[in-house]
Structure 1
Amino acid sequence: MMMIIKGSSRGQSATDVRRLADHLLDDENETVEVAQVRGTAATGLRGALAEMRAVSLGSRTRKALYHASINVGRDEAPLMTRERWLEAVDELERHLGLTGHPRAVVVHVKRQREHVHVVWSRCDPVTLKCTSDSNNYAKHEACARALEERLGLRSVIGAHTRPADTPRPVAAATHADWQAAERTGVAVADVAARIQGAWNEAANGREFAAALARRGLSLACGRRGILIVDEVGTPHSVSRRLGLKAAAVRAKLADIDEASLPTLDEVKPNKRERSMKEKKKPFGATAGTMPPVVIWDNLESWWQGQGATVVRQWDSLWIDYLGTRFKDYGDRVEIHSDAEPTDEQIAALVSAGKARGWQTIRFYGGSESFQRRARLEALRQGYPPEAISLECEDHLRGRALASETMPEHLRRKLGLPDPAPATPTPDETPPPDQVAVVPPPAPPVGA
């Protein structure tokens, strides 16, 4: 995974500045830290951004702030110490021509991956001149490639930094696509794989539409022609997802009358349906103890060795296996399905955690029946009872479950050996002349 830098000017109003501050301090992140506020009298993030905009009112600029985010791959994030993150911020500041301008640096941890946001004042507080934001994409790429080489990160060929004889790379997904995937949980790579499978099966447009329908996708008529809409209503460009020229797509879909297709608004789920789908939580297993660094190549090879089809993303793997879809984040594995998982699918879930060395395993989401069946499978695969936890039993925390004896019928069902008889300590051994006294039962109450 390369270093990715994105950014743009904003802050055209006080409301926009407040929205930016709210976004940077949002508790959807696991942790939020304001790592640095420089060049303003205010020490808090909200006050600092408001002050930057107030200073810009003395200039002619309409957008007072420049907001950028700096990301690296999950497997390379452990290499980025706080000093390295600030070094990356300083390097980007030089490339953007914002050296010495007031700035605020915010560090987020989301899904156990650290990344950085930076907000600069575009207006020099001394001269009140505003720094141009033109050619910012090229500046982002030049900065990212320089930092990749300096910090020992993997590098790629960028659209603006490629050698003269190298064709321009085409992104498999736009930033809007990525945001939609983050919001809805439907991965762009997963949709692209389904579209590719349908395209390979079909000889013409009608067969393509039927193959898409079997994969939960549908065709719609957009402003620029035929689109594909996924199950949560996100539109996808056919040519972009397939990596083909638009002319090649039009030729194969020539037998489809665009006027006969529903519009994008008609094929999208209604607002209530989208809301329910977006709120639906997947179910799966997560690790309490695991190796600190995820080796994605190893995870991908393991799933492929099980006979699964794997689509790799920057922070996870999508896996088509055993008639359902798994999503593997390294520290947790989820099943994305509307149906109750089969025993075979649960066994694969547990095996995935076992194969990567999870010392403990926790099952969450789905029904209580799923979680309890998953516990039985974890016991079968060698997890001790005290290393297994269920979300549905969180209210039972504090009970000494590990010291409880497993029922005999359950031990026989799992094929586990009989427990060794407990040997009492000298202090626990009753003297031979001590007799336990049991009080007689109370008489019944009533007529």
Structure 2
Amino acid sequence: MISGAERGKGGDALAKHLLKPENDSVEVLTPRGLGSPDLIGQVRELVALSLGGRTDRPVYHVHVDPDPHLAIADNDGARARWWALFEREFGLGSQPYCGAVHVKHARRHEHRVYSLVRPSGAVADTSWEYARRERLGRIVEFEFGMPRPTPSKHSRAIVKALREQGRDDVAAWMEASGTTTAARPVARLTPQERLIEERTGIPLDDLRAAALAAWRESDDGAGFLAALRARGLDLREGRSGPVVVDGTGTAHLATRLVGAAARRADGSRIPAAAVRERLAGLTLQTHGETDGRQAGRDPLRDPGRAAAPGGPGGHAGARGDAGGEVPHRDAGGFDADRGRHGGRGVGDALDRLVARPASARLRARMRMLPPGRNAELAAAFAAVRARTWIAVPGHTDVWGLPLVEPHRRV
């Protein structure tokens, strides 16, 4: 049983992803705790309900596939059992959600989008969520008659947790299958790497192979940089160290790229310390200062896709500018120029807050109050509004807004 999950801010793109027509069929689920008639509206409603939470990633997108090899006959029953275990494990039994069931290549799997923010403003705990979801999957596989459990790198930890929870039957089944002693499986791509590959159109395996070839034909940092540039790549300084920049301007952490390529090529990973040591003497430009391409190159004629012969040949990368640049991504997948730049600074945030209507500011404050205080605040607010206020000449607050005081009748 395979499951996956990702936390985020939600948005229309998520809803459109669940409705994408490349599936053989899409069946929209009946939502819980939501009133919007369509999936896009339901996701928007989830986001709105989560605004009072103490997190910037309040939306939890989870999908489950009972068995890619169709060894579980009762697909619907297995999914229902897994979701029941999942909601109990993460305390989401009363949280609103929406979603869809997809059928693709004869496989029936289900997506759900949950709000992690509780009515009190607290956020559901998703720590160690990957291993926890894997444990639930092993339970369902055992209960629905799969002959062997799905391989997992967390097998030993899962067996230990199952025994602590009294599920010795599932633990014994896993041990008898040999899954606890087998070599740990290594996925070709992480979920984040898969999204990057889909966005750029550049196969990560091709990029890894090019970076490893450049590494092996060089003896120092300068040689590695020259070999990368000969393959249409570049080397920049990122947040966590040197990054390899592909033809679309997307950055990939050099230590991870070279290490993973070596492990796949001959089973021996090049240590990150060895990569950092070779590149220590280089003075690299910070990724994001320019467009990420080599100086003097014509991006329209040579977009730098030599590392990916199967990738798109046009000069406009996915979500990029006219030169295929994606300047808003760094090796970690976050904004490359975030914080106090590009309209994201403290002053800009305060301007946006001040510009909001008074009713919106009031609703935001009321969402943060404990239960029972909203009625008191509304009554107090009505009393204050009934009074007449005048500006105090020559006095402003820290944001430059005029101070006011109640009008005193003579």
- TM superposition score normalised by structure 2: 0.51
> What SS does structure 1 have at the residue aligned with 2:31?
strand
Question: How many Å apart are 1:181 and its aligned residue?
Answer: 0.7
- 1:196 and 2:190 aligned: no
What is the CA–CA distance in structure 1 between the aligned matches of 2:307 and 2:287, rounded to whole Å?
Answer: 30
Q: Tell me: CA distance 1:55–1:159, structure 2 relative to 1, closer, same or farther (3 Å).
A: same
What is the CA–CA distance in structure 1 between the aligned matches of 2:312 and 2:15, rounded to whole Å?
Answer: 36
The worse-fitting range, judged by mean Cα deviation, of 200-209 and 179-188 is: 200-209
2:63 corresponding residue in structure 1: 70
1:133 corresponding residue in structure 2: 124
Question: How many Å apart are 1:96 and its aligned residue?
Answer: 1.2
- 1:156 and 2:155 aligned: no
> What SS does structure 1 have at the residue aligned with 2:27?
strand
Q: Tell me: CA distance 1:266–1:91, structure 2 relative to 1, closer, same or farther (3 Å).
A: same
Equivalent of residue 26 in structure 2, options 27, 32, 40: 32
2:223 corresponding residue in structure 1: 207
Amino acid at match of 1:33: E
Question: How many Å apart are 1:48 and its aligned residue?
Answer: 4.1
Question: How many Å apart are 1:147 and its aligned residue?
Answer: 0.5
**Would the aligned equivalents of 2:47 and 2:59 in 1 still touch at CA under 8 Å?**
no
- Equivalent residue pairs, number: 273
What is the CA–CA distance in structure 2 between the aligned matches of 1:263 and 1:26, rounded to whole Å?
Answer: 33
> What SS does structure 2 have at the residue aligned with 1:258?
coil
**Would the aligned equivalents of 2:24 and 2:102 in 1 still touch at CA under 8 Å?**
yes
- 1:252 and 2:278 aligned: yes
Q: Tell me: CA distance 1:217–1:36, structure 2 relative to 1, closer, same or farther (3 Å).
A: same
What is the CA–CA distance in structure 1 between the aligned matches of 2:277 and 2:49, rounded to whole Å?
Answer: 56
2:321 corresponding residue in structure 1: none
What is the CA–CA distance in structure 1 between the aligned matches of 2:206 and 2:66, rounded to whole Å?
Answer: 19
Which string of whole-angstrom CA distances, capped at 9 and with x for unpartnered residues, describes residues 106-144 of structure 1? 1245788764321234466xxx4456333x141342122
1:117 corresponding residue in structure 2: 111
Question: How many Å apart are 1:105 and its aligned residue?
Answer: 2.6
- 1:147 and 2:140 aligned: no
Q: Tell me: CA distance 1:49–1:160, structure 2 relative to 1, closer, same or farther (3 Å).
A: farther
Question: How many Å apart are 1:185 and its aligned residue?
Answer: 1.6
**Would the aligned equivalents of 1:181 and 1:188 in 2 still touch at CA under 8 Å?**
yes
What is the CA–CA distance in structure 2 between the aligned matches of 1:266 and 1:111, rounded to whole Å?
Answer: 43
**Would the aligned equivalents of 2:53 and 2:117 in 1 still touch at CA under 8 Å?**
no
Q: Tell me: CA distance 1:239–1:111, structure 2 relative to 1, closer, same or farther (3 Å).
A: farther
1:96 corresponding residue in structure 2: 90
What is the CA–CA distance in structure 1 between the aligned matches of 2:66 and 2:235, rounded to whole Å?
Answer: 33
> What SS does structure 2 have at the residue aligned with 1:38?
coil
**Would the aligned equivalents of 1:6 and 1:70 in 2 still touch at CA under 8 Å?**
yes
Q: Tell me: CA distance 1:39–1:7, structure 2 relative to 1, closer, same or farther (3 Å).
A: same
- 1:107 and 2:101 aligned: yes
**Would the aligned equivalents of 1:64 and 1:123 in 2 still touch at CA under 8 Å?**
no
> What SS does structure 2 have at the residue aligned with 1:231?
coil
RMSD: 4.8
Which string of whole-angstrom CA distances, capped at 9 and with x for unpartnered residues, describes residues 397-438 of structure 1? xxxxxxxxxxxxxxxxxxxxxxxxxxxxxxxxxxxxxxxxxx
Question: How many Å apart are 1:183 and its aligned residue?
Answer: 0.9
Q: Tell me: CA distance 1:111–1:137, structure 2 relative to 1, closer, same or farther (3 Å).
A: farther
2:200 corresponding residue in structure 1: 184
- 1:222 and 2:229 aligned: no
Equivalent of residue 77 in structure 2, options 69, 72, 83: 83
Q: How does 1:45-444 map to 2 (within 5 A)?
A: 45-49=39-43, 66-70=59-63, 75-76=68-69, 81-108=75-102, 115-122=109-116, 128-129=119-120, 132-134=123-125, 136-148=126-138, 150-151=140-141, 152=146, 153-158=149-154, 161=157, 175-243=191-259, 244-254=270-280, 256-259=281-284, 261=285, 263-266=287-290, 268=292
Question: How many Å apart are 1:258 and its aligned residue?
Answer: 1.4
What is the CA–CA distance in structure 2 between the aligned matches of 1:229 and 1:116, rounded to whole Å?
Answer: 35
**Would the aligned equivalents of 2:63 and 2:109 in 1 still touch at CA under 8 Å?**
yes
What is the CA–CA distance in structure 2 between the aligned matches of 1:262 and 1:100, rounded to whole Å?
Answer: 46
Q: Tell me: CA distance 1:229–1:158, structure 2 relative to 1, closer, same or farther (3 Å).
A: farther
2:331 corresponding residue in structure 1: none
**Would the aligned equivalents of 2:47 and 2:115 in 1 still touch at CA under 8 Å?**
yes
**Would the aligned equivalents of 2:66 and 2:78 in 1 still touch at CA under 8 Å?**
no
What is the CA–CA distance in structure 1 between the aligned matches of 2:307 and 2:293, rounded to whole Å?
Answer: 22
What is the CA–CA distance in structure 1 between the aligned matches of 2:111 and 2:225, rounded to whole Å?
Answer: 42
**Would the aligned equivalents of 1:53 and 1:64 in 2 still touch at CA under 8 Å?**
no
Q: Tell me: CA distance 1:200–1:324, structure 2 relative to 1, closer, same or farther (3 Å).
A: closer
What is the CA–CA distance in structure 2 between the aligned matches of 1:204 and 1:89, rounded to whole Å?
Answer: 52
- Specify every segment of 5 or more residues in structure 2 that has no aligned partner in the other structure, as ranges: 161-179, 260-269, 314-410
Q: Tell me: CA distance 1:225–1:117, structure 2 relative to 1, closer, same or farther (3 Å).
A: same
Question: How many Å apart are 1:27 and its aligned residue?
Answer: 4.5
**Would the aligned equivalents of 2:3 and 2:133 in 1 still touch at CA under 8 Å?**
no
1:387 corresponding residue in structure 2: none
What is the CA–CA distance in structure 1 between the aligned matches of 2:107 and 2:206, rounded to whole Å?
Answer: 21
- TM superposition score normalised by structure 1: 0.48
Amino acid at match of 1:203: D
What is the CA–CA distance in structure 2 between the aligned matches of 1:37 and 1:191, rounded to whole Å?
Answer: 41
